[in-house]
Amino acid sequence: MVFLKEFFKDWRVWATIALMGLILWLSSCSTPELSGLEGGKKYTVREGRHDFTPSPVPLPYPAATVSGWAVFHTSCWYDNLGVDNADWNKLAGVYRWADVAKNKNAVILAWRPDVKIRDVFELCMYENIQGANVPQESSIYKVRADEQFWFDFVLHDGKYTLLINGIQVGQQQNDHKYKTVGKISAWFGGNRKAPHTMWLYMNY
């Protein structure tokens, strides 16, 4: 008993105990959704805003095949926007850098909630052709919240094809050939802003 009293009088013992407690607490605070998703970033859109952050730096890149993966958090599901539930949100893609704007001559992976099934999302290839929005809704791929999926924008002869989990969901309809591209940032809606804060994880 005397030994224990003397042992705990030493400030270094208490400092070690406090440090070990802090390490255990921090490890218990790790985000469970990131388990197994090494290399990904968390992208967040705040209530009342359009853009998910962080946004990629708008640097030019030589056109090339672009690959990545993403996971939607359940916060991304909604069914309270009326007819705007059918609008497509943007996740990833490329735009022709010479056009400056990401909403002109772009090839995009787009998403929206399946309002009939909770926590299910629809994905499609979405193009902007000379300022006109052209979603390819004839080929829709569905994923669940917290389900990791892979996507590839495969470049061939200057044109893109979109694959999701190895399945082709769209081919570029735009007759432009892409030579220099910029990365598309993720954003919510067109006319509407995010009805609440949402987040997802992505690496691309």
Does the pLDDT at position 15 exceed 60? Answer: no
Q: What is the pLDDT of residue 101?
A: 84
Of residues 159 and 7, more confidently modeled? 159
Kindly list the domain boundaries of the chain, sorted by start residue.
1-30, 32-203
Task: Tell me what pLDDT residue 85 has.
Answer: 94
**Neighbour-count burial of 185, counting CB atoms closer than 10 A to its CB (0-12 exposed, 13-18 middle, 19+ buried):** buried
Write down the pTM of the prediction.
Answer: 0.80
**Digit-coded pLDDT (tens) for 45-96:** 999 999 999 988 889 999 999 999 999 999 999 999 999 999 999 999 999 9
Cβ-proximal residues to 44 (8 Å cutoff; 6+ apart), any chain: 52, 53, 197, 198, 199
What integer is the mean pLDDT of 137-147? Answer: 97
Mean pLDDT of 128-144: 95
Q: DSSP string spanning 77-145? A: ----SGGGGGSPEEEEEEEEGGG--TTSSEEEEEEEE-TTSTTEEEEEEEEEETTEEEE-TTS-EEEET
Check pLDDT > 50 for residue 30: no
**Does 163 score more than 80 pLDDT?**
yes
193-203 tens-digit pLDDT: 999 999 999 99
Confidence of residue 9 (pLDDT cuts 50, 70, 90): low
Which residue type sits at 35?
S
The number of CA neighbours under 13 Å toward the Cβ of 193 is 9
Query: How large is the average pLDDT for residues 164-179?
Result: 94
Other CB atoms within a 10 A radius of the CB of residue 20 amount to 10
d(CA 157, CA 2): 81
Is residue 41 over pLDDT 90?
yes
Between CA 155 and CA 174 the distance in angstroms is 13
In single-letter form, the type of residue at position 90 comes to: K
Q: Cα separation of 63 and 77, whole Å?
A: 33
Structural Rg of the chain based on CA atoms: 22
CATH code given to domain 32-203: 2.60.120.200
Q: Is the dihedral of CA 150, 154, 160, 162 positive or negative?
A: negative
Distance CA 75, CA 197 (A): 7
pLDDT exceeding 70 applies to what percent of the chain? Answer: 81
